[in-house]
Amino acid sequence: GEDVEQSLFLSVREGDSSVINCTYTDSSSTYLYWYKQEPGAGLQLLTYIFSNMDMKQDQRLTVLLNKKDKHLSLRIADTQTGDSAIYFCAESQGYSSASKIIFGSGTRLSIRP
Partner 1 sequence: NAGVTQTPKFQVLKTGQSMTLQCAQDMNHNSMYWYRQDPGMGLRLIYYSASEGTTDKGEVPNGYNVSRLNKREFSLRLESAAPSQTSVYFCASVANARDRAVSQPQHFGDGTRLSIL
User: Binding string, 37-76, against partner 1, x = CB under 8 A?
Assistant: ---xxxxxx--x-x--------------------------
> Any contact of residue 3 with partner 1 (CB under 8 A)?
no
Residue 40 zone, left/alpha/beta (φ > 0; ψ -120 to 50; rest): left
End-to-end CA distance of the chain: 41
Nearest to 31 by CA among 58, 4, 61: 4
> Any contact of residue 98 with partner 1 (CB under 8 A)?
yes
* Total residues at interface with partner 1 (CB under 8 A): 26
| Contact set with partner 1 (CB under 8 A) | 4, 8, 30-31, 33, 40-45, 48, 50, 88, 92, 95-101, 103-106
